[in-house]
Structure formats: structure tokens, C-alpha cells
Structure 1
């Protein structure tokens, strides 16, 4: 932060005998001419002090960059990007990261269009992900490559050239996905990411403590990445620990289309689910067109729902969920990692661990619609209470 200070006035301006003193604003002396030699001698005897002050003033003011000079002198770094396909969490995380990087001193980021790769979620497009990852890792003009989502990060690590720094983002659980060795060690010298521990197990505990369901429905693409996205292992572990059962549907393709999800919900209902976990599925994309009718169907069946990804879903009609997903701190944390990597720090040496206390959002209108009464202590301790069902504005983030 630049703090403006008042520059010291040159010492010589106090003496009429120093050339230019009057021009500097000193008041000319009056009186006998015999006093002038003493004044002149005094001025010259102070010249070393004057020179020191002028030099100090020059160093203080000259060392400060002019407006815009910092950006002009910033080193340009080129950043590549890979995702399997578009998803609202990816878009907002990426935007928060770019905003945070723009505030960093000494570095100007360039995001080449030909280094932004998003093949798409269709199975035939997903097959190209390894080749697209290898394409980025072969390039010599990129200073950093971002992998957004578990599938993209795994593809980049499989094609790793061992040199270009890789930064992982948007992963549900890097540890469960086998992307990192532990919360303290990425296991790969040129790779790091953000790790939050125990978030998903806490989510299932909270949902069960409030609703006390018998069988929770969960839907996923039956691939290693798909099971990680939907926290299937955590759900199974907590179900075994707390004594409820799971109704599982693993028949989604990587597209996770509205039609597939509709069939999945019907199958889960046939299995007797009496609660449903809304995971990060494409059909439940908060900015997509299929989320509202799917959520409406669940409410019509009077099925309590828990949304993993923030209060936007609770506002839109989910019964409860983790409250506001604040992307700014996430973007700041990731930008700190990127800045350190681009400044020469080994990625593996950087701290990945983030600890966060979950906060809860509830929708009272949904509770009334499905005939559910929240316990009083839950209402008192909730972080957000929504009294209406409000669908998101599709143009809000365009």
C-alpha cells in the first residue's frame, strides 16, 4: 500500500544567502549589509547537509513507481487451462482465480485462447481428454497449466512432462481421487492443488441428523471420477456408521443429461428412497434448464433434499444444504499458489490444506411444501433461512 507523505523542505530555502532561496519561497532578509557575509558563510557550511537532504528526497520519491509503472514492468506469464467440459462451479472458480491473479504485483497473466481446452462431457469427447492434456504438456510456451476438475487433473498428471507447473482446481476430493498422496503431500514435484478434509462426511452427518431418513438416494456416473464427484465412498461409510441405507443409481453417462437423471430419480424412488443427495451433476447445474424441473419433481414426491454446492440450490427449492459457496477466498488461495509457482517455488513444497467450518442453509417454503418440520434447534443455529423458492436468473452470470 502506498502511503502519501509530505516531502521535507530543502534546508537551504531557510537562508537568503543561498542562490534561489527567494524563488523557493523564503522571505528575503532585511537589515544591515554587514549581516550578509555571516548568512552566506552559514549557508555554505550547511551545503553537505543540504546535499544529503536533497539526495534523500530523490531516493524516497524516485524509488516510488509512477502510476501504471508496476504493470508496465510486470513479467508476463502464460497460463493454459484444461477441463473435461463446462460446469458452473468451474466457471466461477476460474473467474475468481483470474480476478485474484489480476491483483498480484509483478506478474501479468496471459490466457492464450488456443491453450483453453474444454472437449465436452459427451462420452466421445471425454475420450479425447488424454490427447488434449498431452497437447498442453508438450507446449514450451506455457508457464503454468491449470487442470479444472478431477478428470482433467488426472489427464494432465498422466501426460506430465515433469517440468511445467500444474495447478489443480475444482476437485471434490483430491485424496479420495488418488490425485494427491495426502493433505500434506501432492506426491508430484510440479503439482499442487487445494485440499479440504472431511467436508463431505460432515455433509452426510448433518443431513441425517436433521431429517432422520431411512434410505438416502444418490446418483452418479459409475466411473472412478464420477464416484468421487458424488462422494459415494463417504456416503457408504457414513451410512454404515449411522445406520441408514443407500439407494444407488450409477447408470449416468459422463453427459449426465436431464433424461438420464430423470430415469435415475424414478429408479431411486422405486428402491424406496426417502431422501436425496444433490451432487455436482450436469443435470443439476444451477445455470442449466433441467435443474428446476428435477428439483420440482423431488418436491412433488415430498422427498427431502440436501444440496452439496451452496445456497443457490436451497434458494431454488432444495430443503437444505451447505450455505453460500464463497468463491473469492477460493480464488485468492489458488492465486497465492499460482503466484508462488510462477515465482519459482516448487509446487510440491506449497501447503495445500484448507480448513472450513460448514454452514447450513434451509428453505422454509420447501419444508412446508413437502410436509417437513425442522427441529427448533436447527432453525436457531442455521446460517441462512429462505422463506420462498426463487429460481436463479439465467442471465445473472453472463
Structure 2
């Protein structure tokens, strides 16, 4: 009895100087519209550059695997887990996070956060969201130019759009504006992640010369199919080119993750997201697949090959 009394008295005493409890590790929720196996590792690298050692925080990752209709439930899971912040990759995941919480800070990587209504403006995001504008819409014009450089005779561009992704509207609008200046026709084709076949059949029927693919679609599957269909195409990310796509251009993923880590660090230190301007990348990666070019009977301009950040053979 006396022993239990002593132990309870000791437990009630304040901790001795120098023996304070370790600070709680922040938990960061990561919500992805599709499986991006490389993303958590790149985010960790960015966090390490900001001074976050391995083990000083933890990631709670959820991926919809391309099924956008799953995102609201996954976002709700992260909110229920009481994470300290949410990192949302691509517009559908960002919008699902925004609908799930108005209090937990959200750091997004989105192609057009202003145009899709995620934030009020780049300088003053408002609400509980900040992050990185991946320049997805702005790069659309560049993709048109690159296709024209490779296929000077092209007259019609097909655009494979993710029907469930709100980003498809600004994405298509930028392509149409660029195509108009070059007197090119644009054929928008809506696709679903679950069933690409109707979109690919429509693509063949419309006899487009080239194809631009929206990033939130299943890039690896589409790249392989368009190569089989002998259609020059362009999308975003190295994955697309590795999978047989002809070409890709997008914001540098390494820089994007450094910018995300910067914004996330500010948030975890207590700065409200509304006071953190949306960051914009300044580095872009161009990837080419020479084997695909050969299979399509294309001769890539030497200047374009020299400009590429990586040429996959």
C-alpha cells in the first residue's frame, strides 16, 4: 500500500529540468488522385532540405488509384485522423481536401489553383489552402509548340481529357488558345480512368495527327496504347516517356517538392496558409523517347534533342 502511494506521488511530480517530454511529431496526411509511388520519397527529400530529419514527422498516405470518386472518403479519413496538415497532389485531391476541412492546413500541388477555385489568388490564397501552382495549364501552349516542331505538317490535335477532373477546363482552354494562333484544329475527347477504350476508339475515328494527354489520366497505359496506334503524343512526367510516350514536359518534380516542403514547413510552424503565397516553379523537365520516335517513323530535330533534360533510348 505504502509503495503504491509513493509511486503515485512520484508520478505527480513535475519533470526534472533537462528531462522534458519530447515534442509531438507532426503527422502529415498525403492525398493522391492516382498512385504516385515516387511522391512520398521526393517529399521526404524536400523536407530534409528544410531541416526535417527522418523520424521527426510521419506521413499518412492515401491514394485513390485513379478512382476520383474515392477521394472524398479518403480525405475524410485524413481529417478523422486529426493530421496536422494535408498535402494534396493534383486538382481532384485538392478539391476533395478543401471540401473535407476548413480548419486543417492544406498544401496543394495543382495545375491551376486559381482557375479551379482552390485559392482566391496566388498572392493571397485565402482560407486554409496554399501550395504550388504546377503550371499545368500554362504549359499547354508549350506542348502544342513542341508537337508542331516534331510534326510540322500537323493540322489536328486530339486532347485526351479526364472527364471527372475540373482541371480539364483550363487545361483545354490553354491548348485551344495556342492552337488558334497556329491555325490548328483541336478535338477534345473525354475519357474516364476506369474505361479508356471509348476515348481511344473516338481518337482513332477522328484521325488526329497528334495527341495531348491530361496528367490525371493513367499515363502509362495511354502511352503504350498511343505508341501502338502510331500517334505522336505528349503529356507530363518522365513516367509517360518511360512507358512509351513520345515526349513529356512538366515542372521539375524535384523543385515542386522543395517548394511544397517550404510551404509545409511554414504551415507546421504556425503560419496560416492564407498568409503564404502560392509558389510557382521556374524549372521544367523535357523528356524524349528516341525508340518511340523511331517506331513512329519520326526524325527528332537535333536542336530539340539537345534541349531535352533526358533522352530515353
Q: TM-score, normalised by structure 1?
A: 0.63
Structure 2 Cα separation of the partners of residues 231 and 293 of structure 1: 22
Identify the match of residue 111 of structure 1 among 59, 64, 79.
Answer: 59
Cα 1:374–1:319 change in 2 (3 A) is: same
Matches within 5 A, 1:216-365: 216-225=157-166, 227=168, 231-250=171-190, 252-253=191-192, 256-257=193-194, 260-285=195-220, 290-291=221-222, 293-299=224-230, 303-310=231-238, 312-322=239-249, 326-365=252-291
Structure 2 Cα separation of the partners of residues 328 and 120 of structure 1: 22
**Alpha-carbon distance, 1:347 to partner:** 1.4
Cα 1:203–1:180 change in 2 (3 A) is: farther
- Of 266-275 and 173-182, deviating more is 173-182
Structure 1 Cα separation of the partners of residues 278 and 133 of structure 2: 6
**Alpha-carbon distance, 1:239 to partner:** 1.6
Q: Indicate the residue corresponding to 1:25 in structure 2.
A: none
**Alpha-carbon distance, 1:215 to partner:** 0.6
CA contact under 8 A between 1:279 and 1:309: conserved in structure 2?
Answer: no
In the TM superposition, what whole-angstrom CA distance separates every residue of 1:67-109 from its partner, at most 9, and x where no partner exists?
A: xx9xx9554112223334x323xx3223211333356258921
Question: Is the partner of 2:161 in helix, strand or coil?
Answer: strand
CA contact under 8 A between 1:279 and 1:307: conserved in structure 2?
Answer: yes
Question: Is the partner of 2:187 in helix, strand or coil?
Answer: strand
CA contact under 8 A between 1:94 and 1:331: conserved in structure 2?
Answer: no
Computed over aligned residues only, the root mean square deviation of the Cα atoms, in angstroms, reads 3.1
**Alpha-carbon distance, 1:372 to partner:** 2.0
Q: Indicate the residue corresponding to 1:130 in structure 2.
A: 72
Q: Indicate the residue corresponding to 1:27 in structure 2.
A: none
CA contact under 8 A between 2:161 and 2:213: conserved in structure 1?
Answer: no
Q: Which has the higher contact order (CA 8 A, sep 6+)?
A: 2
Q: Rg bigger for which structure?
A: 1
CA contact under 8 A between 1:361 and 1:385: conserved in structure 2?
Answer: yes
Question: Is the partner of 1:345 in helix, strand or coil?
Answer: coil
**Alpha-carbon distance, 1:342 to partner:** 0.8
Structure 2 Cα separation of the partners of residues 351 and 145 of structure 1: 17
Question: Is the partner of 2:47 in helix, strand or coil?
Answer: helix
Q: Indicate the residue corresponding to 2:116 in structure 1.
A: 177
Question: Is the partner of 2:264 in helix, strand or coil?
Answer: helix
Structure 1 Cα separation of the partners of residues 47 and 208 of structure 2: 45
Identify the match of residue 366 of structure 1 among 282, 292, 300.
Answer: 292
Q: Indicate the residue corresponding to 1:33 in structure 2.
A: none
CA contact under 8 A between 2:35 and 2:65: conserved in structure 1?
Answer: no
In the TM superposition, what whole-angstrom CA distance separates every residue of 1:188-244 from its partner, at most 9, and x where no partner exists?
A: 2x211101442332222222233231111111232352615x922221221222211
Question: Is the partner of 1:353 in helix, strand or coil?
Answer: coil
Q: Indicate the residue corresponding to 2:125 in structure 1.
A: 186
Structure 2 Cα separation of the partners of residues 80 and 154 of structure 1: 15
Q: Is there any run of 5+ residues in structure 1 with no aligned partner, and where? A: 1-68, 389-398
Question: Is the partner of 1:276 in helix, strand or coil?
Answer: strand
Structure 1 Cα separation of the partners of residues 31 and 300 of structure 2: 42
CA contact under 8 A between 1:277 and 1:308: conserved in structure 2?
Answer: no
Q: Is there any run of 5+ residues in structure 2 with no aligned partner, and where? A: 1-17
Q: TM-score, normalised by structure 2?
A: 0.78
Question: Is the partner of 1:360 in helix, strand or coil?
Answer: strand
Question: Is the partner of 1:367 in helix, strand or coil?
Answer: helix
**Alpha-carbon distance, 1:246 to partner:** 1.4
In the TM superposition, what whole-angstrom CA distance separates every residue of 1:157-188 from its partner, at most 9, and x where no partner exists?
A: 22333x3211113x232233221223323232
2:37 aligned with 1:99, yes or no?
A: no
Cα 1:83–1:263 change in 2 (3 A) is: same
